[in-house]
Amino acid sequence: MMRRLLLAILLVGATLGVPVDTQQPEPKQQEEFVPIDQLPPQDQLPAAPLLVTAYSFVVLALFAYVISVARRLGVVQRELDRLQSDVKRPRT
Amino acid sequence: MFARVVWLVLRKDLTVEVRSLEIAYTTLFFAVSCVLVFAFALVREGRAPEDGAAGILWISIAFAGTLALGRAFERERQSETLRALLLAPAARPAIYVGKLLGIVALLGACEMVLVPLVALLFQAPLFAHPVWLAIILLAGTIGFAAVGTLFAAMLVRARTRDVLLPVLLYPITVPVIIAGVRATATLLQPELDMDSIRFWLALLGCFDVVFVTLALWTFEPLMTD
Amino acid sequence: MPKWFVPAAVVCGLMFAAAPILIANAPYESTMGLVQKIFYVHLPSALIFLLAAVVCGVASVRFLFGGNPRHDRIAWAAAELVVLFGIITLVTGPLWARKAWGVWWQWDVRLTASLMGWMVAVAYLLLRKYGGPGSDKLAAGLALFGMANVPFIYISVNYWRTIHPTTNVLPTLPVSMGLPVWFTFATFFLLFILLLRMRVRLEEQRARLDALYLSVDA
Could you write out the DSSP letters of every residue in B161-225?
HHHHHHHHHHHHHHHHHHHHHHHHHHHTSSS--HHHHHHHHHHHHHHHHHHHHHHHHHHHHHH--
Please state the rounded mean pLDDT for residues C201-213.
91
Burial annotation B93-131 (CB, 10 A radius, 16+ → b, else e): bbbbbbbbbbbbbbbeebbeebbebbbebbebebeeeee
Q: Chain C residues within 8 A (CB-CB) of chain A?
A: 33-35, 37-38, 41-42, 45, 80, 84, 87-88, 91-92, 95-96, 98-99, 104, 191, 195, 198-199, 201-202, 205-206, 208-209, 212-213, 216
Query: Residue C20: inside a domain, yes or no?
Result: no
- Residues of chain B scoring pLDDT < 70: 46, 48, 50, 225
A23, pLDDT greater than 50? no
Query: Residue C22: inside a domain, yes or no?
Result: no
Q: Output the pLDDT for position A22.
A: 45
- What is the rounded distance in angstroms from the CA atom of residue C208 to the CA atom of residue C130? 21
- What is the rounded distance in angstroms from the CA atom of residue A64 to the CA atom of residue C144? 28
Identify which of C83, C77, C45 has the alpha carbon closest to the alpha carbon of residue C60.
C77
Q: What is the pLDDT of residues A34-77, one digit of tens each?
A: 555 555 555 567 778 888 888 999 999 999 999 999 999 999 99
Q: What is the pLDDT of residues C119-129, one digit of tens each?
A: 999 999 999 98
Domain count, chain A: 1
Domain count, chain B: 1
Contacts for B210 with CB less than 8 Å, ≥ 6 apart: C148
| Alpha helices by DSSP H, B43-80 | 53-78
Say if CB C83 and CB C121 are below 8 A apart: yes
- What is the rounded distance in angstroms from the CA atom of residue B199 to the CA atom of residue C217? 61
**Chains that contact C by 3+ CB pairs under 8 Å?**
A, B
The whole domain housing C97 covers 35-216
The whole domain housing B58 covers 2-223
The whole domain housing A88 covers 48-92
Say if CB B171 and CB C83 are below 8 A apart: no
ipTM, two decimals, is 0.88
Which amino acid is located at B195 in the chain? D
Q: How many CB atoms lie within 10 A of CB C8?
A: 16
- What is the rounded distance in angstroms from the CA atom of residue C187 to the CA atom of residue C189? 5
pTM for the predicted model, two decimal places: 0.84
Query: Residue A92: inside a domain, yes or no?
Result: yes
Please state the rounded mean pLDDT for residues C12-34.
83
Query: Which residues in chain B are contacts of C130 at CB distance < 8 A?
Result: 159-160, 164
Q: What is the pLDDT of residues C150-170, one digit of tens each?
A: 887 787 777 777 778 877 777
Query: Residue A12: inside a domain, yes or no?
Result: no
